[in-house]
Amino acid sequence: SFDWNDGLFDVTWSENNEHVLITSSGDGSLQIWDIAKTKGPLQVYKEHTQEAYSVDWSQTRGEQLVVSGSWDQTAKLWDPAVGKSLRTFKGHEGVIYSTIWSPHIPGCFASASGDQTLRVWDVKAPGVKLVIPAHQAEILSCDWCKYDENLLVTGAVDCSLKGWDLRNIRQPVFILLGHTYAIRRVKFSPFHATLLASCSYDFTVRFWDFSKRNPLLETVEHHTEFTCGLDLSLHNRGQV
């Protein structure tokens, strides 16, 4: 285990080294850790001026890029081999809660914010590529479909999940209702194109299939406190 002197909000594994991971923390910094070395972090990046709430390592081949999102309303692009950020992305008018790389399109990531928008960015282009006014509430989480490069899901304080097709953002392609408090994290399945999982401040984890007439498959009520994060195993189809 590793210690840092502030709260750690997010973690992402390296995609090119099984021993390396990056955490993001309440003091605005990112820390690179090597689990083969038990001493402190290999590197600390301190550029965000408020909480670094989100960090994600790109999964497309041929690039080693990390994106972070902060309560300072900016996202930053990093190459872990370089000591400072490569670029800063401005545009959000509220805190950024989630920054997620597209699993399909190199150099493309999405961000979800307290300003009630989902935004899509291209690291090679100036400014924001797409702004989606996705909810009339703070958006705490977003994720990309693993089987459709145009499909994203958002989860918000209004207790709803919404699916968005980037080719037509006027209307959501699905709305999933059932949570009774803010949705904290949402993830698409790595194995099924229409399956996703969400967790919430209502203490539950829910599984959904948005292709079905009754999309709520299961509600898991094992937790006795806020459920803040979840992920689906890439190796075991049934494991969360």
Amino acid identity at 93? E
On whether residue 126 sits in a domain, the answer given is yes
Distance CA 223, CA 199 (A): 10
At 206, give phi and psi (nearest 5°).
-125, 145
pLDDT of residue 67: 97
pLDDT of residue 200: 97
Instruction: Write out the two tokens for 149.
Output: 């490069």
Find the domain containing 105 and state its range.
8-133
On whether residue 186 sits in a domain, the answer given is no
| Residue 185: HSE in the Cβ half-sphere, 13 Å Cα cutoff | 18
Task: Provide the pairing of β-strand 108-113 with 96-101.
Answer: antiparallel
pLDDT of residue 127: 85
On whether residue 90 sits in a domain, the answer given is yes
User: Could you tell me the sign of the dihedral formed by the alpha carbons of 26, 111, 196, 206, in that order?
Assistant: positive
On whether residue 228 sits in a domain, the answer given is no
On whether residue 93 sits in a domain, the answer given is yes
Per-residue pLDDT of the chain (240 residues; tens, 9 = 90+): 888 999 999 999 998 889 999 999 999 999 999 999 878 899 999 999 999 999 999 988 778 899 999 999 999 999 998 989 999 999 999 999 999 999 999 999 999 999 999 999 999 988 889 999 999 999 999 999 999 999 999 999 999 999 999 999 999 999 999 999 999 999 999 999 999 999 999 999 999 999 999 999 999 999 999 999 999 998 998 899
On whether residue 58 sits in a domain, the answer given is yes
pTM over 0.85: yes
pLDDT of residue 59: 85
pLDDT of residue 62: 76
Distance CA 226, CA 90 (A): 31
On whether residue 209 sits in a domain, the answer given is no
| Of 237, 139, 146, the residue nearest 187 (C-alpha) | 146
| Number of domains observed in the structure of the chain | 1
On whether residue 181 sits in a domain, the answer given is no
pLDDT of residue 174: 98
CATH code of 39's domain: 2.130.10.10
